[in-house]
Structure 1
Amino acid sequence: MDRRIFVKSSLGLAGAALAAGETAASAPSGKNNFKLKYAPHFGMFKNSAGDDLVDQLKFMADMGFMALEDNGMMGRPVEVQEKIAKEMTRLGMEMGVFVVDKGGNSQNTLAAGKKEYIDIFLNGCKRAVEVAKRVNAKWMTVVPGDFERNLPIGVQTGHVIDALRRGAEILEPHGLTMVLEPLSDTPNLFLRTSDQTYEICRGVNSPACKILFDIYHMQKNEGHIIPHIDWTWSEIAYFQIGDNPGRKEPTTGEINYKNIFKYIHDRSKKENKSFIMGMEHGNFSPGKDGENALIKAYVESDSFAV
């Protein structure tokens, strides 16, 4: 999956009809006081807020979503980046992840250890610093790319660690963190599980290289979600959300998000941590009704006792 076009494609994936007998959800009134910082993406509420990005930000904040993630931020014109950042500052919203452009994919896999691939990655990190400063971001997503299957797995892992150390040297002086995301999109991807990502982060040994724990992908690849969060907790810097099957909002699939959110909230509070919870999924139902149902799903999943 091309992460840079996820936002553009997610609405197209969200065209499921309302379930039989389900009544349309009425628009929520007033700002929800969520316990966690859930971060929608542009397009998620376009039927309610319109196409204008500033209007979408205002709608998100009005509904209680006080963070944003935008995978394609690096590809937006500078003036658009600045406009988004200015409005988010005014609204008191926090910026979540964007994807490091060409940070690692099937064309420049870091596992190969090839100089030309590493140079592409490092150039992406340098450009990401400027974007992060412009939009007040702290985290950027990196996917190391595919396996290099003619090499032993340990050698591939060493190549990935070496490349990421060099990326961390670029980001760390600016207080920025690349978050490595294990994915389930194809078995060709080198980074697949949370424990593998934990091992790599320990090898890089930098605050600028941590885990992006995408609950949807990890449910598909490894399951046992809360224990895996527990085991890899010290290296996690960011979470993303999506129910399975379908990659839609919580309550539409098999994952018990209320329990997972409670675990993250309670442990974070004890350790004085804070995470952005990226809403990297489509809408189960179309139109305004689907958007209102999505908001209600988050209200329900966030209603755990503290």
Structure 2
Amino acid sequence: MKFAANLSLLFTEYPLPERFAAARKAGFDAVEVQFPYSLPLDDIAAALARYRLQLVLINIPAGNWAQGERGLACLPEREAEFAAGLEQALHWARALGVGKLNCLAGVPPEEADTDQVQATLEANLQLAARHCHDNGIQLMIEAINTEDIPGFWLHSSHQVLELIERLKLPSTALQYDVYHMQIMEGNLISTLKQNADKIGHIQIADVPGRHEPGSGEINYPNLFKALEQMGYSGHISLEYNPQTTTEAGLGWLKHWTIQDRTP
């Protein structure tokens, strides 16, 4: 199986520019960054080349994160901002060789009309899917639990899969976050098996706490065995908050990978 380090949550002992080196030293050859846009694009390109890393996924800009925004796709009257963020993400993806862009639906205002919210989401997803398809990039749509982010518009795998099918979105797949879906719906292995051909990316963390696999209630050995049996060939991203340091918490990974650990 192929594992990737999410540099937004892992190796936070170091500033973001130094996390690329830390990931390679720990044995990773693939990484993802939620929102890399705070760094110069050329600096990221240089770090990826220097440490022989593949950047597998980034997110489309999600609004003002510091003020609680968690995506623009479902927000009425923010369509122009979403389109601009999409174009920025596509530019970065083309420049850095990123094959997947993740779209966060967001949390609509409480007073927003639900029909308008849904129509806005669908129009923005159609725009994103079309542009990603034209650029040879796969669009990911992620469902997120409403315990951590109350009001998040897409919060089940069924919602995402229904949208992809009904809207006939090209080059689009479900980004299956095991942590979020354990909280919202459980039944992880069955869902993965039933939708193996519709899942484009997997992220992992344990429940509760969003810590390392093995720290909570999810039976990760069984889940990984199921993914192997399914023939899942995409990356599995470590998107969790280490209980101590990142390096101290990577012991669980040794059984599942034989990646080269040479810096």
Same fold by TM-score, threshold 0.5 exceeded?
Answer: yes
Letter in 1 for 2:2: L
CA pair 175-251 structure 1, distance change in 2 beyond 3 A: same
96-105 or 164-173: which moved more?
96-105
Q: Is the 8 A contact 1:194 1:213 kept in 2?
A: yes
- Cα gap change, 1:296/1:236 in structure 2, threshold over 3 Å: closer, same or farther? same
Is 1:123 matched with 2:84? Answer: yes
Pair 1:43–1:53, CA change in 2 (3 A): farther
**Contact (CA 8 Å) 1:178, 1:208: kept in 2 or not?**
yes
Listed one character per residue, the Cα deviations across residues 273-292 of structure 1 (whole Å, up to 9, x for unaligned) are 5212121111112xxxx333
Matched, 1:275 2:230: no
What displacement does 1:190 show? 0.8
Structure 2 counterpart SS, 1:60: helix
Which residue number corresponds to residue 181 of structure 2?
Answer: 218
Do the aligned partners of 1:39 and 1:276 also contact (CA within 8 Å) in 2? no
1:144-293 alignment to 2 at 5 Å?
144-147=105-108, 151=113, 156-184=117-145, 185-268=148-231, 274-285=233-244, 290-293=245-248
**CA displacement, residues 68-124 of structure 1 (integer Å, 9 cap, x when unaligned):** 1111212322xxx32322332344322122221136985875446x3x322221111
Partner of 1:3 in structure 2? none
1:299 aligned counterpart, secondary structure:
helix
After TM superposition, give the deviation of residue 51 of structure 1 in Å. 4.2
More strand by share: 2
Q: Which segment is superposed worse, 238-247 or 59-68?
A: 59-68
CA shift at 1:43, angstroms? Answer: 6.5
Do the aligned partners of residues 103 and 277 (structure 1) sit closer, same or farther apart at CA in structure 2, a change above 3 Å counting?
farther
Q: Distance in 1 between matches of 2:54 and 2:71?
A: 31
- 2:33 and 2:70 map into 1 onto residues whose CA distance is 22
Q: 1:127 to 1:62 in 2, by over 3 A?
A: same
Decide whether the 8 Å contact of 1:108 with 1:120 is kept in 2: no
Match of 1:63 among 21, 26, 47: 26
SS where residue 97 of structure 1 aligns? strand
Name structure 2 gaps, 5 residues minimum. Answer: 259-263
Q: 1:92 to 1:204 in 2, by over 3 A?
A: farther
- Residue 52 of structure 1: CA displacement? 7.1
Q: Does the CA-based 8 Å contact 2:62-2:72 persist in structure 1?
A: no
Give the structure-1-normalised TM-score: 0.73
Higher helix share: 1
Name the SS of the counterpart of 1:96 in structure 2. strand
**Among residues 10, 14, 17, which one is paired with 1:53 in the alignment?**
17
Instruction: Output the aligned Cα RMSD.
Output: 2.7
Distance 1:52 1:72, change over 3 A: closer
Q: Calculate the TM-score normalised by the size of structure 2.
A: 0.83
Aligned length: 252
Tell me by how many angstroms 1:168 deviates.
Answer: 1.6
Could you say what secondary structure the match of 2:175 adopts? Answer: strand
